[in-house]
Amino acid sequence: MRRLLGLLGGTFNPIHNGHLHLAGQLLEQLHFDEIHFIPSAAPPLKIAPEVSAQDRAEMVKLAIAGNPKFTLDLRELTRDGKSYTTDTLISLRGELGQAVSLCLLMGYDAFLGLPKWHCWQALLNYAHIVVVNRPQASQEPSDELRQLLEAHKTGTLSALLDAASGAIYFAEIPPLDISSTAIRARLASGQSVDTMIPADVLGYIRQHHLYETP
């Protein structure tokens, strides 16, 4: 049987309890053997983070230290150029071969924006996509995404193990209303974020004087 590997990418600027909640819930529901947290160095569709890649990676390392099934994956931080997800999947597939099912984890909003991604139609050649569905989400997928769903959507977990890539699966997870943007704003204005990020991450932020200005 194939191993099941989850891939959670993002700027993690900073990583917060919402990220950890999502990963923990998916780990439990889908029975992943491992989940890789992959900090982005130069996200193509976002402004480059003002906090260094090293600081963001260290915060992820601290946040996931308590779970042996969570792994920090630095491949996007050590690769030159834009952090294209397709390049990351090609790299992982080259290392792991077809004996591992790769699952790209994303929220529903990110899924709706998929047609803006670099080589987005090639993603399913290398991985499955697991979408965390927002309850009562109002926005509908584009025609391009509808066609993709018609060809690849599955409602069974076994489909993620039957093949190494190629399926789209929707998972229902109660969200935590936390965002990195809100955390940065609260830190810059001196407000508490104790319930929003792990204590070790907050200690690192304070020690290195991160996010002290808007």
Structure tokens given for 29: 């529901």
The residue that leads in pLDDT, 68 or 83, is 68
- Mean pLDDT for 187-207 is 96
CA–CA distance, 164 with 109 (Å, rounded to integer): 25
* Domains within the chain, CATH numbers bracketed: 3-207 (3.40.50.620)
One-letter amino acid identity for 28? E
CA–CA distance, 94 with 87 (Å, rounded to integer): 11
**pTM exceeds 0.75, yes or no:** yes
Structure tokens given for 123: 């993603």
**pLDDT per residue as tens digits for the range 164-192:** 999 999 999 887 889 999 999 999 999 99
Question: Within 10 A of 41 (CB to CB), how many other CB atoms are there?
Answer: 20
Mean of pLDDT over the chain: 92
Structure tokens given for 195: 């319930």
**pLDDT per residue as tens digits for the range 103-128:** 999 999 899 999 999 999 999 999 99
Name which of 34, 38, 41 is nearest 5 in CA terms: 34
Q: Which has the minimum average pLDDT: 21-30, 85-94, 170-179, 197-206?
A: 170-179
C-alpha to C-alpha distances, 182 to 19, 27, 196, nearest whole angstrom: 14, 26, 10
**Contact, 86 vs 165, CB < 8 A?**
no
